[in-house]
Each structure stands twice: as structure tokens, then as C-alpha cells.
Chains A and B, each alone.
Chain A
Amino acid sequence: KNQVEQSPQSLIILEGKNCTLQCNYTVSPFSNLRWYKQDTGRGPVSLTIMTFSENTKSNGRYTATLDADTKQSSLHITASQLSDSASYICVVQGSGTYKYIFGTGTRLKVLA
């Protein structure tokens, strides 16, 4: 079983709408959680990073939340744009390790 599970696998929304992506993890002990955006055929680019003591972090129209007790995170995208079409990957780093553990991603498609 993957230590980082994301849902939904894919999502289609209309331009201007909001959406929320989910990430559940079992990695323990936990250091930090990151959300990456990956455009098709490109490498992942970091959006947000949160340690266990942080509940929310914003980056423009992207807002990530973290509940370290339930081991859940979400990424909320406000007023979606066509350029938001990409895969969004949740990445968890365990405490005392360099290793990133990647989720399989949520593929978002924003339609005009």
C-alpha cells in the first residue's frame, strides 16, 4: 500500500471554479509535506511546503492545509485558470531522512 494516497485520480472543472484535492499519508515520523505542480512533460515544481506544526499555507490561488493528527492534507485551488491544468503531486518527507515519498498525483483539467 502506498504511503501517500491522493484523491481523486483525475478531475475536470470549468474555468473560474474552485476545487480541492486530497492527500492522505501514513509516513511516520513526519517532517514535512509538499504539494508540487507538474505540467505535462515537465518536472514537478514546488507550490507549498508545511511542517507538522503548520496548518495552512498559501501561494497565490493555491492554499494547502495540513492535519497532522489525521495525517491528511488538502490543496484548494481558487478561481481556476486554464493554466492550472496539470498533475498535482503530494510529497511527504519523513523525519530524519532525505527521502521524498510521492503520491500518484491528481490530474486536473480546467475547461474554458
Chain B
Amino acid sequence: DTGVSQNPRHKITKRGQNVTFRCDPISEHNRLYWYRQTLGQGPEFLTYFQNEAQLEKSRLLSDRFSAERPKGSFSTLEIQRTEQGDSAMYLCASSLFGLAGGPKEGNEQFFGPGTRLTVL
């Protein structure tokens, strides 16, 4: 257990429905990342937050995807009007970025167990 939790662990939905996932990072971590992973592939970056600010979004994050981290703690990822191509594992990671961190210690990303989404 890395200390990062995600809920739900599994979600099955019908095409066209909206879904929302939650990530609770390690409490003192100021950065939070969302990734998508399809079968047999490595994780692909979607977006990341530093505290409550969303600093970067991948072009993979279409208009149907929105992520928030309103209080700089937990984050939610919502997918609207789901499509079968959205079926994947959605991973969250968190890290502590700061002056004390060197190239290794700074930005070590700890991953949650993921939410597996199946769109029927």
C-alpha cells in the first residue's frame, strides 16, 4: 500500500453515461497526477495538479474529461458521455515537490491501485 487510494476500484457503465473517479493522495503531497493505462501499455499522462491548480493537460484529455482538486487534497476525474474507447485503468499518483527534494527525492511519484473502467 503506497498511501494513495482510489475509488471505486472498478466501474462498469453503459456508453453515454457519466462517471466520476476519486483519488486521495498521500496527505502531505502537493502534486497529484492522473494517468490512463490500456492493456499491455504503460501509463499515459493525462493531467497534473500542484495544490489546487491544474498546471498541465495532455491532448489525450478531450473535452469530455474534466479533473478537479478543489482544496488541494483529493481529486476527482469525470468522464462525460463515456465511449467504449474510454475503457482503461485510470491511475492516480502523488508526489511531494519542494526545495528539499533532489532529482530522486523530489517528485517521486507514488501510485494508487487504479480504477478500472469498462464501458459497455
Interface residues of A (CB under 8 A from B): 4, 31-32, 36, 41-46, 49, 51, 89, 91, 93, 95, 98-100, 102-105, 107
In the complex, are the beta carbons of A103 and B42 less than 8 A apart? Answer: yes
Give the secondary structure class of B's interface.
loop
In the complex, are the beta carbons of B112 and A100 less than 8 A apart? Answer: no
In the complex, are the beta carbons of A51 and B104 less than 8 A apart? Answer: yes
User: Nearest Cβ in chain B — how far from A43, in angstroms?
Assistant: 4
Q: Is B113 an interface residue (CB 8 A)?
A: yes
Q: Is B46 an interface residue (CB 8 A)?
A: no
Please name all residues of chain B whose beta carbon is closer than 8 Å to the beta carbon of A93 when the two chains form the complex: 103, 107
User: Nearest Cβ in chain B — how far from A10, in angstroms?
Assistant: 9
In the complex, are the beta carbons of B43 and A44 less than 8 A apart? Answer: yes
Please name all residues of chain B whose beta carbon is closer than 8 Å to the beta carbon of A105 when the two chains form the complex: 40-42
Please name all residues of chain B whose beta carbon is closer than 8 Å to the beta carbon of A4 when the two chains form the complex: 42
A89 and B103 CA atoms in complex are apart in Å by 19
Q: Is B21 an interface residue (CB 8 A)?
A: no
Please name all residues of chain B whose beta carbon is closer than 8 Å to the beta carbon of A46 when the two chains form the complex: 108, 110
A51 and B48 CA atoms in complex are apart in Å by 24
Q: What's the tally of chain B residues with a CB closer than 8 Å to chain A?
A: 27
A24 and B20 CA atoms in complex are apart in Å by 36
Q: Is B19 an interface residue (CB 8 A)?
A: no
In the complex, are the beta carbons of A44 and B111 less than 8 A apart? Answer: yes
In the complex, are the beta carbons of A100 and B109 less than 8 A apart? Answer: yes
Please name all residues of chain A whose beta carbon is closer than 8 Å to the beta carbon of B43 when the two chains form the complex: 44, 89, 100, 102
User: Nearest Cβ in chain B — how far from A9, in angstroms?
Assistant: 8
Residue of A nearest to B41 (CB): A104
Please name all residues of chain A whose beta carbon is closer than 8 Å to the beta carbon of B112 when the two chains form the complex: 43
User: Nearest Cβ in chain A — how far from B99, in angstroms?
Assistant: 15
Residue of A nearest to B107 (CB): A98
In the complex, are the beta carbons of A41 and B114 less than 8 A apart? Answer: yes
Interface positions of B from 76 to 107, Cβ below 8 Å from A:
89, 91, 93, 95, 97, 103-104, 107
Q: Which one, A45, A98, A104, contacts B111 given CB within 8 A? A: A45
In the complex, are the beta carbons of A99 and B45 less than 8 A apart? Answer: yes
Please name all residues of chain B whose beta carbon is closer than 8 Å to the beta carbon of A102 when the two chains form the complex: 42-44
In the complex, are the beta carbons of A45 and B42 less than 8 A apart? Answer: no
